[in-house]
Amino acid sequence: MAQKRGLLLVMTGASGVGKGTIRQELEKIEDYHYSISWTTRESRPGEEHGVHYFFKTRDEFESEIHSGLGFLEHAEFVGNYYGTPRAAVEEQLQMGRNVLLEIEVQGAMQVKQAMPEAILIFIMPPSLTELKNRLVGRATESLEKIEKRLAKARSEILMAHEFKYCVLNDDVSRAVEDIRAIIRAERLSALRLTEEELEVIVQQ
Amino acid sequence: MAQKRGLLLVMTGASGVGKGTIRQELEKIEDYHYSISWTTRESRPGEEHGVHYFFKTRDEFESEIHSGLGFLEHAEFVGNYYGTPRAAVEEQLQMGRNVLLEIEVQGAMQVKQAMPEAILIFIMPPSLTELKNRLVGRATESLEKIEKRLAKARSEILMAHEFKYCVLNDDVSRAVEDIRAIIRAERLSALRLTEEELEVIVQQ
């Protein structure tokens, strides 16, 4: 029987909502391929090629946009490209492996367009105040920039119906268990049954 | 905030596939309202009104069809009515309680028509041979009747894509855990988020 296609999980949500922490906990207990983005920006101290990003030239990136399988999502920020190349994701899915993307909301919407099978999971903060506290706690950005992020988070929260699932991150381990339940349930989706599998059951 | 509506779970599948056993295990660990069917047939020894069925007169049943909230599904077999009255189910859902129906495939399809929010879970036997063994093991029916059931089961399995989820019952406790994951994931469906809930998050 052909290998059953993996699930494409897209975890998204505001900056500071805890996507990274959830992913780190999840990867201790669930087997999936984590898709690493391409970027044309310079690597920062401590960042490794193939771990944090694949660092590419503009030529390489643009050639993938136009001639390769393209990107599931990509965008240009401040003169640099960022994106999720389609080929690697497709290869893993075809091998039957689940793939997880951890990306911004705009990118998640692009993935949904490119691959309607994608399972969009929106990570929700308990409140905007709590999100603000987390961003301020990180102390990596100016208050002005944080306020901009919060305004963006607000509008994203109000469009939560666009996603398939919504997981509240008020407790990381509960959020991780929620995502595991989503993965288990999605594997049971009747849409994933192949004619071949049904035939095997009725022939035996 | 208004009480969040419960989930309407419809467990269906062939006779002998183990729906009843799964339900009994499930109700030890999950809280839900089990909807008891109405019937106009005579009660059999050991059957209790309000436990196995609500035993009704034809007049009562027909009056509910035509004047009450009606039935989510009903059918007539050998001169007797069987059905799931809508009012009790609706009341529990509005109270925020999950409701479980355990019904035949045809009835499940009627429920899907009547209430598109219904979550149809098809219980799949490991194989038709295994299903036959279970039915023969029960020793309650003639071989001829069993063969008819198997032919029906075969056609139902081949329409498995009509359901939302498909749970293989080769191991009862795994099947129960599968259904628990479905319930957990369905609670996280973004479609269930109310505008009110989103407002609370962005206002705080």
B143 has a chain A CB within 8 A of its CB:
no
CATH topology of domain B8-203: Rossmann fold (3.40.50)
- Chain B residue with minimal CA distance to A129? B204
Q: Say what the pLDDT of residue B2 is.
A: 61
Cβ atoms within 10 Å, residue A189: 17
At a CB cut-off of 8 Å and minimum separation 6, what does B82 contact?
Answer: B37, B38, B39, B41, B74, B75, B76
The residues spanned by each domain of chain A are 8-203
Task: Give the pLDDT of residue A106.
Answer: 92
B181 close contact with A: CB closer than 8 A: yes
Read off the pLDDT of residues B117-158 as tens digits, 9 standing for 90 and up.
999 999 999 999 999 998 888 878 888 989 998 999 999 999
C-alpha dihedral sign at A116, A80, A92, A167: negative
Predicted local confidence at residue B150, as pLDDT: 92
Quick: pLDDT tens for A65-118.
Answer: 998 789 999 999 889 999 999 999 999 999 999 999 999 999 999 999 999 999
User: Which of A157, A201, A203, A204 to substitute to test the interface with B, most B CBs within 10 Å?
Assistant: A201
Is residue A1 over pLDDT 70?
no
State how far the Cα of B71 lies from the Cα of B103, in Å rounded to an integer.
Answer: 13
Which stretches within B127-194 are classed as H helix? 128-138, 143-158, 172-187
Please give the average per-residue pLDDT across A47-70, as a whole number: 91
Q: Is the pLDDT of residue B3 over 80?
A: no
A167 is in an annotated binding site: no
Return the closest-CA partner of residue B76 out of B124, B103, B41, B117.
B41
Residue A77's pLDDT is 84
Structure tokens belonging to residue B92: 């529990």
Side-chain-facing half-sphere of B139: CA atoms under 13 Å: 1
> pLDDT digits over A112-127, tens only?
999 999 999 999 999 9
CB B147 within 8 A of CB B136: no
Contact B127 A161 (CB under 8 A): no
pLDDT band, very low/low/confident/very high, at B78 (cuts 50, 70, 90): confident
The 3-state DSSP class for residue B59 equals helix
